[in-house]
Amino acid sequence: MSKPFLLRKMSHEGSSNLSYTLGPYPISESVGKHISLACTGRKECIECGREIKKTFQQGYCFPCVQRLAKCDICIVRPEKCHYHEGTCREPEWGESHCLIDHVVYLANTTGLKVGITKAHKTHERWGDQGALAAVLLARVPDRLVSGNLEVALKEHVDDKSNWRALIKGEVKEIDLLAERRRLLQYIPAEFEPFILPEKEVEVTQFHYPVQKYPSKASTINLDKTPEVTGILEGIRGQYLFIGEKALNIRKYAGYEVVYEL
């Protein structure tokens, strides 16, 4: 039997053709093969490491959710960043993670969407989301500015992906550069200095190790089905496609599992 390990967000590499790693395993190499993923019943907070009965916010214990700046509402709603008000839970963390360059981008994941991320995490973010293509729109000095620009654009473009369409592999053809030009007219004057000239950006395309998508948007709940077996049909974003169902690995961060081929 393989040695148990704790689930974490899958990492990926490759500039265009992405390959993924699950724990210590190069999971992309297993596409097309029969796999087994079984929970041991143990869960551990991904921050403090203590054993817990239930995880919160994709892997944390409840005290860490209450204490950590990375678990505050401003992480999912960057326009609510309150560092400048002197109320950041962890000012030093905020300075190193939020008061740094961020980018605002457009992506085709399951249709056009706008998003933000740290400037040095762009490629990682796009692969984590399962984007088919993406292009930069602006580079800004901190998280709050990126969040405010995103809010200004959300009236004209979605800011979320359709997870059901992603699981089924539904594709929409989008000219990202044309959409980028269209959206420039809706950007408030205060953000214009941060817009990147079109000549300085390019559309990045992504290809995922998927041989077959599920026919229905059906997901696996590890709390109800602690052992999953079947053919690994593919990987995209943070989803494993096992048989006719999808498993969101990031959702179960902190769960101890055993992986077998």
Tens of pLDDT, residues 124-138: 999 999 999 999 999
Whole-prediction pTM: 0.94
- The pLDDT value given to residue 156: 96
* Per-residue pLDDT tens over the stretch 147-164: 999 999 999 999 999 999
Averaged pLDDT for residues 1-16: 93
* Per-residue pLDDT tens over the stretch 77-129: 999 999 999 999 999 999 999 999 999 999 999 999 999 999 999 999 999 99
- The pLDDT value given to residue 1: 64
Q: Is the predicted pLDDT of residue 183 greater than 70, yes or no?
A: yes
- Sign of the dihedral defined by the CA atoms of residues 152, 183, 185, 141, in that order: positive
Question: Taking all residues of the chain, what is their mean pLDDT, rounded to a whole number?
Answer: 97
Averaged pLDDT for residues 11-26: 96
- The pLDDT value given to residue 157: 96
Contacts with 178 (C-beta within 8 Å, 6 or more apart), sequence order: none
**2 band by pLDDT with thresholds 50, 70 and 90:** confident
